[in-house]
Chains A and B, each alone.
Chain A
């Protein structure tokens, strides 16, 4: 005697099988992505999703069973995230990142890149001049841990030794390279994340980094080791300093969007800048990885100054061409 049943009871009885079917497909998709579904299941999903959505709006207006509406809300939300979720797979996503997204993000940051380059360069020049006048300044720019004996008190011979130091078998180049990479990546992430605080901490990090570079250079130049030190620093520095400047630029773009959001709300502006900057930052981590390899292996294995300079110039040119070579706009 179906007439005795409530409308909402019959409503549920008619559709329950479809909901259960959708639930099953969702469990499958959530366990391993949409790739886990068969072709017909994939086609079925959006239809079931729309059915569930329409069930939800009907249930809201005719049913007072709160457990039913709560169930449908949870079911629709889960289905919504699967149906409208990102569907690209990781390899495709990676390919697009290297082919288009990364250079595009870096190109979009050209103003900020220029600013952070100028900041670093000015800091380097100031540190260079100060240390040349009075070597005591060196300690203000370089932490003793980083200097590890390469300071004004060291003898020229000892300094030369550090430039052409060949790791003995017991000393592990690869460990050193890995350490440098993780260390620098952490610093770059900081430069990016601190940009949110109105650019200032990022600027301070860039100035510190530039100052360290200038102070080192001044120390070595004062001992007549300028050319050699340049090669020693630039073989990986061309990549590493570029990466840190880009990280600073990414931080600046967020801070700038927070300070001057324009027509949009501050939150929207920050979110937009944040997404673009994050793409650039993912690339910065890749660059730092390469820099770590160059620093750990390349610098210890290649002992000829001109070869070091050649590698530095080649990497710099390669990066510039990769980032700024005009591309066709994305379809």
Chain B
């Protein structure tokens, strides 16, 4: 066996993994793939910052209130209870803020919710309390350890050690960038991942053909064959965005491409709407016959 053959055998032993594209399949027990989007690093970082702002903000307010009560009462019996309440409050805040929110039905802290994120079990099963506990116990090394290193100061050897420690703890910070599902170490240990779960509203259907037909706008099959699915989706985005200038530009482009000879005094929006409905009808009926036309270059 030649060296090259051996090498190629070595290479083929492992099935190549699909490259990172931000999507992750999640097949429900009913057999439908929900196609989850993995939460991006930047979004998760932003969510963490929001959570920290909330957490430290409320801890600061809490401490101020405790201090205020202490000053106001000046009672010795009060200071003891206050000390206990403060220590426990800080402890509970630091360790259970994330836990309590993620165990709830939304499985997301306020920061995550603001960024449209939530925690999910990586295997698509149910998210259990143990998983949430594990991923947040790991937060201790991933977030608070680097913070401790960056906050400490030292001279000479101490300084060098702190620098090395900070460098080492950076590994935790960038860890999510080096795996496909952007999981941090806590996610790996708990078997969880953070996915996008935005709330979408149902927008009106643009292909209201009854209305457009009444305007007397119709297109020949040849005119409708000018574009494919990709262009249809771009057109949908343009109409939904509703930007007058963009619509005028796109309408002019389409009119030129299909050699439009119908009435010229219709509003761009009406024209685009009608063309959208016509194109979608054409593409959808061809799809029913098993031909999915990707884009305008797809003529096979």
CB contact under 8 A between A189 and B80, given known A9-B207, A74-B200: no
Q: Please tell me if the beta carbons of B210 and A4 are within 8 angstroms of each other in the complex.
A: yes
In the complex, the chain B residue whose C-beta lies closest to that of A173 is B80
How far apart sit A63 and B191, CA to CA, in the bound complex (Å)? 35
How far apart sit A6 and B84, CA to CA, in the bound complex (Å)? 68
Q: Please tell me if the beta carbons of A19 and B202 are within 8 angstroms of each other in the complex.
A: yes
Residues of A with C-beta under 8 A to B288: 7, 62
Q: Please tell me if the beta carbons of A170 and B76 are within 8 angstroms of each other in the complex.
A: yes
Residues of A with C-beta under 8 A to B233: 64, 66
Q: Please tell me if the beta carbons of B190 and A93 are within 8 angstroms of each other in the complex.
A: no
Q: Which of B84, B203, B210 has the most CB of A within 10 A?
A: B84
Residues of B with C-beta under 8 A to A275: 128, 130-131, 134, 190-191
- Name the contact of B138 in the complex, choosing from A78, A181, A193 (C-beta under 8 A): A193
Q: Interface readout for B129-169 with A: 1 if CB under 8 Å, 0 if not? A: 11101100110111000000000000000000000000000
How far apart sit A192 and B199, CA to CA, in the bound complex (Å)? 36
CB contact under 8 A between A175 and B189, given known A63-B284, A76-B32: no
Complex interface residues of chain B between 80 and 125 (CB less than 8 A to chain A): 80-81, 83-84, 87-88, 90-91, 95, 103-107, 118, 120, 122, 125
In the complex, the chain A residue whose C-beta lies closest to that of B199 is A74
B25 within 8 A of A: no
- Name the contact of A282 in the complex, choosing from B133, B141, B284 (C-beta under 8 A): B133
Q: Please tell me if the beta carbons of B200 and A71 are within 8 angstroms of each other in the complex.
A: yes
- Name the contact of B127 in the complex, choosing from A29, A71, A85, A274 (C-beta under 8 A): A85
Residues of B with C-beta under 8 A to A273: 189
Q: Please tell me if the beta carbons of B202 and A274 are within 8 angstroms of each other in the complex.
A: no
CB contact under 8 A between A29 and B105, given known A6-B280, A67-B203, A71-B203: yes
> Closest approach, in angstroms, between the C-beta of A143 and any C-beta of chain B?
15
Q: Please tell me if the beta carbons of A174 and B84 are within 8 angstroms of each other in the complex.
A: yes
Q: Please tell me if the beta carbons of B191 and A80 are within 8 angstroms of each other in the complex.
A: no
Q: Please tell me if the beta carbons of B127 and A86 are within 8 angstroms of each other in the complex.
A: yes
How far apart sit A7 and B133, CA to CA, in the bound complex (Å)? 48
A34 within 8 A of B: yes
Q: Please tell me if the beta carbons of B107 and A189 are within 8 angstroms of each other in the complex.
A: no
- Name the contact of B87 in the complex, choosing from A12, A81, A175, A190 (C-beta under 8 A): A175
A194 within 8 A of B: yes
In the complex, the chain A residue whose C-beta lies closest to that of B120 is A81
B213 within 8 A of A: yes
How far apart sit A91 and B254, CA to CA, in the bound complex (Å)? 63
B272 within 8 A of A: no
A182 within 8 A of B: yes
Question: Interface residues of B, CB < 8 Å — how many?
Answer: 73
A151 within 8 A of B: no
Q: What is the predominant secondary structure among interface residues of chain A facing chain B?
A: helix
> Closest approach, in angstroms, between the C-beta of A261 and any C-beta of chain B?
12
- Name the contact of B90 in the complex, choosing from A7, A71, A182, A194 (C-beta under 8 A): A182
Residues of B with C-beta under 8 A to A54: 32
Q: Please tell me if the beta carbons of B188 and A189 are within 8 angstroms of each other in the complex.
A: no
CB contact under 8 A between A81 and B197, given known A62-B288, A64-B283: yes
A21 within 8 A of B: no
Residues of B with C-beta under 8 A to A185: 91, 95
- Name the contact of A182 in the complex, choosing from B28, B87, B140, B281 (C-beta under 8 A): B87
How far apart sit A189 and B213, CA to CA, in the bound complex (Å)? 68
> Closest approach, in angstroms, between the C-beta of B194 and any C-beta of chain A?
13
Q: Interface readout for B274-298 with A: 1 if CB under 8 Å, 0 if not? A: 0001001101110110000000000
B177 within 8 A of A: no
> Closest approach, in angstroms, between the C-beta of B81 and any C-beta of chain A?
8
Residues of A with C-beta under 8 A to B280: 6, 8, 64-65
> Closest approach, in angstroms, between the C-beta of B240 and any C-beta of chain A?
7
Q: Please tell me if the beta carbons of B137 and A68 are within 8 angstroms of each other in the complex.
A: no
How far apart sit A159 and B200, CA to CA, in the bound complex (Å)? 68
Q: Please tell me if the beta carbons of B80 and A175 are within 8 angstroms of each other in the complex.
A: yes
Q: Interface readout for B175-189 with A: 1 if CB under 8 Å, 0 if not? A: 000000000010011
Residues of A with C-beta under 8 A to B189: 196, 254, 270-271, 273-274, 278
Q: Interface readout for A268-299 with B: 1 if CB under 8 Å, 0 if not? A: 10111111111101100000000000000000
Q: Please tell me if the beta carbons of B126 and A84 are within 8 angstroms of each other in the complex.
A: yes
> Closest approach, in angstroms, between the C-beta of A71 and any C-beta of chain B?
5
- Which A residues have a C-beta under 8 Å from some C-beta of B? 1, 4-9, 12, 16, 19-20, 23, 29-30, 32-34, 50, 53-54, 56-57, 61-68, 70-71, 73-78, 80-82, 84-86, 90, 93, 101, 169-170, 172, 174-175, 178-179, 181-182, 185-186, 189-190, 192-194, 196, 254, 267-268, 270-279, 281-282
Given contacts A68-B205, A81-B120, 10 further A-B contacts (CB under 8 A): A23-B202, A56-B32, A74-B197, A74-B198, A84-B28, A84-B29, A93-B129, A254-B189, A267-B188, A271-B191
- Which B residues have a C-beta under 8 Å from some C-beta of A? 26, 28-30, 32, 34-36, 76, 79-81, 83-84, 87-88, 90-91, 95, 103-107, 118, 120, 122, 125-131, 133-134, 137-138, 140-142, 185, 188-191, 197-203, 205-210, 213, 229, 232-233, 236, 240, 277, 280-281, 283-285, 287-288
A–B complex contacts, Cβ < 8 Å, 7 sampled: A4-B210, A56-B32, A73-B35, A85-B105, A85-B127, A175-B83, A254-B189
